[in-house]
Amino acid sequence: MDNLKFIQVETDENIGIIQLNRPEVLNALNRKMVNEIVRTIEDMDRDEKVKVIVLYGNGKAFAAGADINEMAQDSAIDLELLNQFADWDRLLQVKKPMIGAVHGFALGGGFELALACDLLFAAEDAKFGFPEINLAVMPGAGGTQRLTKLMGKTKALEWLWSGEMMTAEEAEQHGIINKRLPKELVIEETINYAKKLAEKPALSVRFIKEAVYKAVDDSLLEGMQYERKNFSLLFSTEDQKEGMKAFMEKRKPQFKGR
Ligand code: CAA
C-alpha cells in the first residue's frame, strides 16, 4: 500500500486497526481518505494474519461527515462522473468482521461509515446523526438504506428529516449500537472484544456474516444506487450551494426551496 495520508494503520495480535486521522476537521472524510480506508480494509480482508478489523477516530470524533469543503462546489454531473461512492460499495464485499469504536461525532458520511461496520461499540459521549438535510442534500453513502433497515421506516424518516443527533443511549435503544462504554474504555474494550471474536472458527464467522446480510440486505446495492442519483441531483439546487456556503461562512442558511 502506498503512503497513507489520512489514516493510521496498526495490528494488535490478529486485529487490524484503522485510525481515522484528520482530527483538525473532526475526521471529515475526503475522497482520498475514503479510498485509503476502503483499500486498507480490503488488504486486511485478504491478509491471513488479520481476523477482525477495528475502526476508530483520532481526536474529538469518529467522523463528522463527508468533507463539505471538498464537495461544496460540485455539480450533479461532477458527482456522477467522479463516481465517488463506488468505494463504499466495495465495503459490502468484505468478509471479515468490521467493528467500529465510536466516540464523539459520527455524522453524515461518518455515521454511514459506522453503519457499514458489522458491530458498533460507542462511548457515552457518542453522537450519531444525518445533518445533510441542513445542507439541503441527503445521505449519499448508504445512510437512508442502512438506517431504515436497522430502525424501520418511521423512526428513520424522523431522524433523517430532523437532522438531529441521537445520543449513545438513543442509538442503543434503536438497535444501532451493540454496547455503550465509558469514553476512556471504548477503544480498548472494542479491541478486547475483537480478540475474543478472532478466536472463533474463522469460516463460521465468515459464513454467519454472509447469511445474516443475505437476510437483511439483499437489495442494499440497488437502494444505494437509487440514493446516489438523488444525492447527485441535489447538487443542482440553489439550496445546496447556499447550505454549504453558509456552513463555510459560519452563518445560518437562507433556503429557497429550489
Ligand atoms: N466537512 C468539512 N469540515 C468539517 C466538517 C465536515 N463535514 N465537520 C467539521 N469540519 C471542520 C469545521 O469546519 C472546523 O474547521 P475550522 O476549525 O477550520 O473552522 C473543524 O472541523 C472543527 O469543527 P467545528 O469548529 O464546527 O466544531 P464544533 O464542535 O463547533 O461542531 C459539528 C461540531 C457540530 C460536528 C460541526 O462541525 C458540524 O456541523 N459539522 C458538519 C456536520 C455535517 O453536516 N456532516 C454531513 C456532511 S455531508 C455528508 O456526509 C454527505 C454524505 O452522506 C456522504
Number of helices (H), then strands (E), belonging to the chain: the values are: 12, 9
The per-residue pLDDT for 26 is 98
Cβ-count burial 221-247 (b if 16+ within 10 Å, e if not): eebbeebbeebbebbebebbbbbbebb
Identity of the amino acid at 155? K
For residue 165, what are the β-bridge partners? 129
Beta-carbon neighbour count of residue 155 at 10 Å? 16
The per-residue pLDDT for 178 is 98
110 is written with which cell numbers? 461518518
For residue 52, what are the β-bridge partners? 15
Angle, alpha carbons 186-48-110 (nearest 5°): 35
Half-sphere exposure of 200 (CA within 13 A, CB side): 14
Tens of each residue's pLDDT in the chain, 258 residues: 568 999 999 999 999 999 999 999 999 999 999 999 999 999 999 999 999 999 999 999 999 999 999 999 999 999 989 998 999 999 999 999 999 999 999 999 999 999 999 999 999 999 999 999 999 999 999 999 999 999 999 999 999 999 999 999 999 999 999 999 999 999 999 999 999 999 999 898 998 898 888 888 777 777 788 788 889 988 998 999 999 999 999 999 998 878
132 is catalytic: yes
The per-residue pLDDT for 162 is 98
Identity of the amino acid at 68? I
Closest ligand 1 atom, residue 65 Cα:
50
- Residue 136 DSSP one-character state: T
State in Å: Cα 215 to ligand 1 middle. Answer: 35
The per-residue pLDDT for 198 is 94
79 lines ligand 1 (CB under 6 A): no
Mutation probe of ligand 1 site: the residue of 68, 85, 102, 159 with most atoms within 8 A of C-beta:
68
Identity of the amino acid at 48? E
Mutation probe of ligand 1 site: the residue of 6, 21, 24, 26 with most atoms within 8 A of C-beta:
26
The per-residue pLDDT for 247 is 95
Angle, alpha carbons 150-171-16 (nearest 5°): 80
Rounded Cα–Cα distance for residues 70 and 242 (Å): 15
The per-residue pLDDT for 1 is 56
Q: Which helix (H) or strand (E) holds 89?
A: helix 86-90
The per-residue pLDDT for 30 is 97
**132 contact partners, CB below 8 Å, separation of at least 6:** 65, 108, 138, 139, 140, 143, 163
Rounded Cα–Cα distance for residues 243 and 256 (Å): 11
195 is written with which cell numbers? 480478540
Mutation probe of ligand 1 site: the residue of 20, 25, 231 with most atoms within 8 A of C-beta:
25
The per-residue pLDDT for 224 is 80
State in Å: Cα 35 to ligand 1 middle. Answer: 20
**219 contact partners, CB below 8 Å, separation of at least 6:** none
222 is catalytic: no
249 is catalytic: no
48 is catalytic: no
Residues recorded for the chain: 258
State in Å: Cα 252 to ligand 1 middle. Answer: 14
Closest ligand 1 atom, residue 127 Cα:
35
**116 contact partners, CB below 8 Å, separation of at least 6:** 88, 91, 98, 142, 146
Q: Can you say whether the dihedral through the CA atoms of 234, 252, 256, 238 is positive or negative?
A: negative
Which is nearest to 225 in space by CA: 92, 115, 27?
92
Entry pTM: 0.92
The per-residue pLDDT for 233 is 87
The per-residue pLDDT for 2 is 62
